[in-house]
Copies of this chain bind each other. A is one copy, B any other.
């Protein structure tokens, strides 16, 4: 009997699907500099002719690239038409994380801890690097949240959106694109679950809202003061206490 293990040198023929070849070739072209962000790649019909595959294969490749945020497809004619190379890692990362959070592939506790790790870093970076414009971008949602104080009670959705904007602005202010994009992806992925928690709060909402805004203000001022360590600690405390209040009494 032939020992299969003796045939380690014999690996099964790699069966690469046609659309994967297309994906690879497009990536190669981008790598080689032949395609830059903003460029339109050949039409699907022309690509299928050049690569000697069916248009269906080309289209499946486009769906893969689109899911990864590498290209964007637009119909019609004009500048927005055609399939265009466009770097949208943030959106792709967000979609990816959102679906896996929704599918519960990541324990919620792990997501929160990861968020703390990233936002601590973001806050510290923001304290060190934030420009005036970036500080304004952080201050705007902060002021809007504070303006909700004393207003109607049913502003949970608005507050959640503003909170998302606030945290994203801090991440952007840090100046690290990857850290920012991962931070954004996590916060966006949590947008729905957090809103659901807010809805469950009932009458406690005004008190919680007040507390959250105070914490936001503290984070903002630490960043404005350039105190990275304090900003990091305050962000961590903010996220922890928020989740404790939202999920603790579930």
**Which residues of A does B touch, CB under 8 Å?**
19, 27, 30-31, 37, 56, 59-61, 63-64, 66-70, 87, 89, 92-93, 95-96, 99-100, 102-103, 105-107, 110-111, 113-114, 117-118, 121, 176-179, 181-182, 186
Contacts and interface: CB of A to CB of B under 8 A. Distances in A.
Nearest to A17: B73
Number of copies: 2
Contact of A67 (B56, B63, B105, B117): B63
For the residues of A in contact with B, the DSSP-based class is helix
Contacts of A100: 68-70, 87, 89
A47 B67 CA distance: 21
A6 to B, nearest CB: 23
Given A92-B96, A96-B96, A27 B178 contact: no
B182 A114 contact: yes
Contacts of A178: 106, 110-111, 113-114, 186
